[in-house]
Amino acid sequence: MLTVDDVLEQVGEFGWFQKQTFLILCLLSAAFAPIYVGIVFLAFTPDHRCRSPGVAELSRRCGWSLAEELNYTVPGPGPEGQCLRYEVDWNQSALSCLDPLAGLAANGSALPLGPCVQGWVYDTPGSSIVTEFNLVCDDSWKVDLFQSCVNLGFFLGSLGVGYIADRFVPESPRWLLSQKRNTEAIKIMDHIAQKNGKLPPADLKMLSVEEDVTEKLSPSFTDLFRTPILRKYTFILMYLWFTSSVVYQGLIMHMGATGGNLYLDFLYSALVEFPAAFIILVTIDRFGRRYPLATFNLVTGLACFLMIFIPHDLPWLNITIACVGRMGITIGFQMVCLVNAELFPTFIRNLGMMVCSSLCDVGGILTPFLVFRLMEVWQGSPLILFAALGLVAGGMTLLLPETKGVTLPETIEDAENLQRKAKPKERKIYLQVQTSELNTQVPERDASQGNARQE
């Protein structure tokens, strides 16, 4: 009886139909990319200070340079100078140009500081939602909320789309067969053959799922945790998705907040995604999935750890290590998609992808708060978190089975037995051939022995 793998070999495993579908998915991914990482440019926060019209007038009258103006009128560097101002009337004529604040403090005490009440001055040209709506200081958390809401939308959408995909995506022939919808599976296979310019097999109507699947398998959330092995797969994959999202987005946000040239730094880090894709193509068929995925997660964690110790006067080294980290997590992000699809049986494959990948969106919701709030404590704090997540992810990946060369599981039992390297389909065919040969040989021996006894 024909299986899906048998038919795919004849109708084309990667023909025009598969290429067309692949291109559509690529275009969708390209459309989502600006939304996913656009926060770097949309919410860029430049250096800023409190606006004070009197300061600007005094600076013109005294002929100060920008550095002199900041030295005389801004409380200091960092959050204090960006969010507070001296409570001084800068329009009074008694202020001198050499040291305007001298003698204003009573009894040598510090001048009182107050919040910015007339807005802010931004030192970098251009605009973002930060400069447009003054989302700085006490309102800076709204930038984090903005990106979190974007990822919340992805999360809610993935829950709905993943559920719908199992019932309404053209369907996977494997999934249709698991649902005993053989007629629809045959139609899709025939459509694939026509698109690929191939002739469908003459016995296509004999297409079926494995013989031991005798009941309709309906996807259920509990199936992901039904057995110890599937539970382990599910929890590990959920962690890998979460880590991939947090580290991938986090590195982009951290680089945007600490880099020298925002546009060049982002360009350099984005360019590494091209060799990352090439590395994936080279490694998955030669070295499998598990060891490359573990290796690149470990590389990412190590790169983030090294970035903590790079001095600020070596920006080229910082961007180089950051690019290595981004390349590593890019490879890990793409490979976890593949591993996720290969570990779950057919009838819950989409459901497993939906549940595990939803942790990617949960990570995206938390990442802005993790990055920007931790940076307020210390600029290297997010890197410590990224390093820990990456190193743990590398270790946990080694607990998964290797799926290279293994037939996609169609039942929970198949998923439980993924540790075996040989293809179950090939073993089954081999055993059936052996059995048929024995059945044809035994009667002949019995007959010869019977004739001998009769003589």
Share the mean pLDDT of the chain: 79
Residue 249 identity: Q
Residue 225 vs residue 439, higher pLDDT: 225
pLDDT at 206: 65
- In angstroms, the CA 229 to CA 408 distance is 16
Q: Where are the alpha helices (DSSP H) in 124-172?
A: 129-133, 141-165
Residue 345 identity: P
- In angstroms, the CA 259 to CA 360 distance is 25
Confidence class for position 446, pLDDT limits 50, 70, 90 = very low
Strand partners, 152: none
pLDDT at 325: 92
Confidence class for position 212, pLDDT limits 50, 70, 90 = very low
Signed CA dihedral, 229, 233, 238, 243: sign only:
positive
Task: Supply 155's token pair.
Answer: 């999360």
Helix axes 182-195 and 16-37, enclosed angle (nearest 10) = 90
pLDDT digits (tens, 9 = 90+) for 30-67: 777 787 777 788 888 888 888 887 888 888 888 888 88
Helix axes 290-307 and 273-286, enclosed angle (nearest 10) = 150
Signed CA dihedral, 312, 316, 320, 322: sign only:
positive
Task: Supply 276's token pair.
Answer: 């990352």
Task: Supply 289's token pair.
Answer: 């999935």
Q: How many CB atoms lie within 10 A of CB 244?
A: 28
Sequence-separated contacts (24+) of 263-269 with Cβ below 8 Å? 265/319, 265/322, 266/40, 266/41, 268/319, 268/323, 269/319, 269/322, 269/323, 269/326
Residue closest to 205 by CA, chosen among 175, 179, 180, 183: 183
CB 215 within 8 A of CB 34: no
Portion of the chain with pLDDT greater than 90, in percent: 15
List, in order, residues 6 or more apart from 52 with CB less than 8 Å away: 73, 85, 90, 118
Residue 283 vs residue 210, higher pLDDT: 283
Range name among 135-139, 245-249, 255-259 with the lowest pLDDT average: 255-259
pLDDT digits (tens, 9 = 90+) for 379-394: 889 999 999 999 999 9
pLDDT digits (tens, 9 = 90+) for 125-148: 778 888 889 988 888 888 888 888
- Determine the average pLDDT of the residues in 382-407: 91
- In angstroms, the CA 64 to CA 100 distance is 12
Question: What's phi and psi for 331, nearest 5 deg?
Answer: -65, -45
- Determine the average pLDDT of the residues in 294-323: 90
CA diameter of the chain? 138
What's the pTM? 0.73
Give the DSSP letter of residue 85: E
CB 52 within 8 A of CB 92: no
